[in-house]
């Protein structure tokens, strides 16, 4: 993106915090980083655009990044969260205009990144840390294109439900088709796949695995679902029993709400589909 130094810095931090390596594992400041710290201080701030990091994560990530590199209290770390489709639309427009408002773009949209690299849209990621992650990424068969694109994390959508809601006490999920059972009429949420790269890719993955998604959507329609987009408001709808079943949400959203209200740990459930699940590996440039 527009500032090479921050592309690298935030990539290292998020890779360490989210992909499984601790900051202690990457305790040594690399020679590449040492060259960038002075310029980072002069720049004064960084903006990261992504669909995933919650406000809670951002509040921890920013101070950790600033502390690790000794950037000082005046350094600004800004986390901008939008839907996957919205982040890609924004960055695509900025690439075409040649004017950037964000430094880092984090999203699971490999096709977009592949095309953008061909157009020379990204600066190189001068990283001394990537070598510690590349084997894991390649073992998982995930796209990357170092030094322009790194892949520091992944997630998958899972069915989530509230067992305390009326009629949900004995509900369980093993198959995708369990979330469209006739007994769930008026209780379901369907994600808006027209706005989400990751949801679209999940549906494509299930289709390629042999699932009859046309049949699934017909059965889902029969449950009279409401259409919602973001995982945050959807998990609240589940918690409030307005719609106790969400076909595709994130277990991380459960965790975030359990931190606020520990009693939710006993009633908000998650499972996985025997048909399989799609790994949404997130790229950063």
Question: What is the CATH architecture assignment of 158-280?
Answer: 3-Layer(aba) Sandwich (3.40)
What is the domain partition of the chain in residue ranges?
4-153, 158-280
Question: Does the domain spanning 4-153 belong to CATH 3.40.190?
Answer: yes
Helix (H) or strand (E) holding 9: helix 4-18
Confidence (pLDDT) at 32:
78
Q: pLDDT, tens digit, for every residue of 163-215?
A: 999 999 999 999 999 999 999 999 999 988 888 888 888 898 899 999 999 99
Question: What would the pLDDT profile of 112-157 be if each residue is shown by its tens digit?
Answer: 888 999 888 888 877 677 877 888 888 888 888 888 888 877 778 9
Where does the pLDDT of residue 58 fall: very low under 50, low under 70, confident under 90, or very high at 90 and above?
confident
**pLDDT more than 70, % of the chain:** 88
Assess contact for 243 and 189: CB atoms under 8 A.
Answer: yes
How many CA atoms are closer than 13 Å to the CA of 33, on its beta-carbon side? 20
Q: What is the pTM of this model?
A: 0.71
Q: pLDDT-based confidence at 9, cuts 50/70/90?
A: very low
**Residue 190: which residues within 8 A CB-CB, separation 6 or more?**
220, 225, 226, 227, 228, 247
Highest mean pLDDT among 69-73, 150-154, 219-223, 226-230: 219-223
Q: Looking at residue 166, what is its pLDDT?
A: 97
Confidence (pLDDT) at 15: 39
pLDDT at position 27, please?
Answer: 58
Q: How far is CA 101 from CA 78, 94, 105, in A?
A: 11, 8, 11
pLDDT one-digit tens code per residue, 224-236 = 999 998 899 999 9
What is the tally of helices (H) and strands (E) in the chain?
10, 10
DSSP string, 207-264: HHTT--HHHHHHHHHHT-PEEE--HHHHHHHHHTTSS-EEEEE-HHHHHHHHHH-GGG
Q: Which residue has the higher pLDDT, 82 or 1?
A: 82
Q: Quick check: 90 and 83 in contact, CB under 8 A?
A: no
Distances (CA, A) of 189 to 218, 239, 246, 278: 14, 13, 5, 19
CA distance 259 to 252: 11
């Amino acid at each position: 993106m527009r500032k090479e130094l921050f592309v690298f810095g935030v990539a290292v931090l998020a890779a360490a915090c989210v992909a499984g390596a601790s900051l202690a594992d990457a305790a040594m400041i690399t020679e590449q980083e040492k060259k960038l710290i002075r310029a980072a201080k002069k720049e004064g701030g960084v903006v990261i655009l992504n669909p995933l990091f919650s406000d809670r994560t951002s509040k921890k990530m920013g101070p950790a990044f600033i502390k690790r590199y000794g950037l000082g209290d005046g350094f600004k770390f800004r986390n901008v969260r939008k839907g996957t489709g919205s982040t890609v639309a924004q960055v695509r427009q900025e690439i075409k205009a040649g004017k950037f408002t964000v430094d880092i773009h984090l999203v699971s949209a490999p096709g977009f990144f592949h095309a953008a690299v061909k157009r020379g849209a990204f600066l190189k990621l001068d990283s001394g840390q990537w070598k510690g992650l590349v084997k894991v990424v390649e073992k998982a068969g995930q796209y990357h294109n170092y030094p322009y694109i790194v892949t520091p994390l992944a997630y998958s959508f899972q069915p989530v439900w509230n067992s305390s809601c009326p009629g949900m006490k004995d509900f369980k999920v093993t198959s995708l088709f369990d979330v469209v059972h006739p007994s769930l009429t008026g209780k379901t949420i369907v994600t808006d796949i027209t706005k989400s790269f990751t949801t679209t890719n999940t549906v494509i993955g299930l289709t390629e695995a042999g699932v009859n998604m046309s049949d699934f959507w017909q059965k889902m329609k029969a449950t009279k679902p409401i259409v919602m987009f973001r995982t945050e408001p959807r998990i609240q709808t589940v918690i409030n029993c307005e719609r106790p079943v969400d076909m595709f949400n994130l277990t991380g959203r459960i965790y975030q709400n359990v931190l606020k209200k520990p009693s939710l740990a006993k009633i908000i459930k998650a499972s996985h589909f025997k048909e399989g699940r799609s790994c949404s590996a997130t790229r950063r440039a």
